[in-house]
Chains A and B, each alone.
Chain A
């Protein structure tokens, strides 16, 4: 049976990982390539690189490190951040990305997902959504969770999946950074609406949160987290052992 995936996410600015990562034996703690290799050797099932660069020069550095990572790391790589056009898809896919995650780019241009899916296949197009509860409904937020788009989230996700998104990353703004657990209610609602894989993001603080996620929302395919992995609060090999011990199918 297919395993639940554990996915560390690296924020990259100007070709360097932001927020120093502290691991023993890792000499350059801000090198995306070194970190990608470290995580690959330590149980990550997939990696997400999120480009938070603002400048064109930084963008070039990002594709350089992406190319170098893809030449050394042989697990799936998803790239997000600043994906607004088909040219952006092309730029990162040529450098070794397997999947491309679209967030604000799809809000600005709703045709982007359909066009990308047609050209590169559904499996390549990941919809990433930042969601927050507003007035009793799930609302889509843009620009890294800063702007309320006024759009209802479940309908938005359904439209994007119909247009060709092959996977959905649900990032709950309500639970993000709180470390009180994933947003099970929100994830349940999304899983009930779509039949493509759903990736949970936002809120993990400890291994028990991952157990609760996969036990209580079994349709969720994967869990994504950043700082708890980077700061060693949760170590992926131990997390996977714990999950396996609780009857959750993972790749050990």
Chain B
């Protein structure tokens, strides 16, 4: 069973349905005890970093994420949920993150070449940078769906895949049992379901 952390950020309906589609039971919850009873944990998120981090802390879900990571449960951050796993973000100021992964979140503006739209919205190809469990079922070059204006850099050896948008952007990370996807696996068709299946095969 997979717990989807509910801290008042974003729409969890599609994520829950996509897990159901691969035969994985899930529970959308904001209760720490329920999260710690789950086999694995997903931290979703859309919107602005600082606002989401504040909500995570206000609901006590920051402590739940740390406790799940300490207990060795596989953890998957999706989109902004992945960005929250890093040390800090520079989205509208400088803000601290959960610090479970090394690296920081920076804006595309001024970094990606002029002429490319910001946000990046659409399907882009994955380029694997190491063997990872999260991408175990994913062929090189698989297309997944991105919607973002910020990305993680300085991820060191957690980097699992990049995508090319004028420069190589962090697309997926994995270190021990902490994983993250900048793209939306729940919106990436079959390729996305394969990634969720790989995550759900990870044991605590």
The contact of A3 among B14, B122, B149, B189, by CB within 8 Å, is B122
Known: A70-B17, A74-B21, A123-B147. A1 touches B122 (CB 8 A): no
Interface string of B104-137 (1 = CB under 8 A from A): 0000000000010111111111000000000000
B170 to chain A, nearest CB (A): 15
Inter-chain contact B122/A197, CB cutoff 8 Å: yes
Inter-chain contact A1/B143, CB cutoff 8 Å: no
Residues of B within 8 A of A71 (CB): 13, 17, 20
CA distance A212 to B125 in the complex (A): 24
The reply to whether the CB of B138 lies closer than 8 angstroms to some CB of chain A is no
CA distance A122 to B47 in the complex (A): 8
Inter-chain contact B14/A70, CB cutoff 8 Å: yes
**Could you tell me how many residues of chain B have their Cβ less than 8 Å away from some Cβ of chain A?**
34
The reply to whether the CB of A59 lies closer than 8 angstroms to some CB of chain B is no
A72 to chain B, nearest CB (A): 8
The reply to whether the CB of B64 lies closer than 8 angstroms to some CB of chain A is no
Inter-chain contact B123/A251, CB cutoff 8 Å: yes
CA distance A96 to B54 in the complex (A): 25
The contact of A123 among B46, B164, B165, B192, by CB within 8 Å, is B46
Inter-chain contact B123/A3, CB cutoff 8 Å: yes
Can you give 20 A-B contacts (C-beta < 8 A)?
Answer: A2-B122, A2-B123, A2-B165, A3-B143, A45-B123, A70-B14, A70-B17, A71-B17, A74-B192, A93-B11, A96-B14, A121-B48, A122-B119, A122-B149, A123-B147, A195-B117, A195-B118, A197-B121, A221-B117, A222-B122
B residues whose Cβ falls under 8 Å from a Cβ of A: 11, 13-14, 17-18, 20-21, 46-48, 115, 117-125, 143, 145-149, 164-165, 186-189, 192-193
8 more CB-based (< 8 A) A-B contacts, given A3-B123, A74-B18, A195-B118? A1-B124, A3-B122, A40-B189, A74-B189, A74-B193, A166-B121, A197-B119, A221-B121
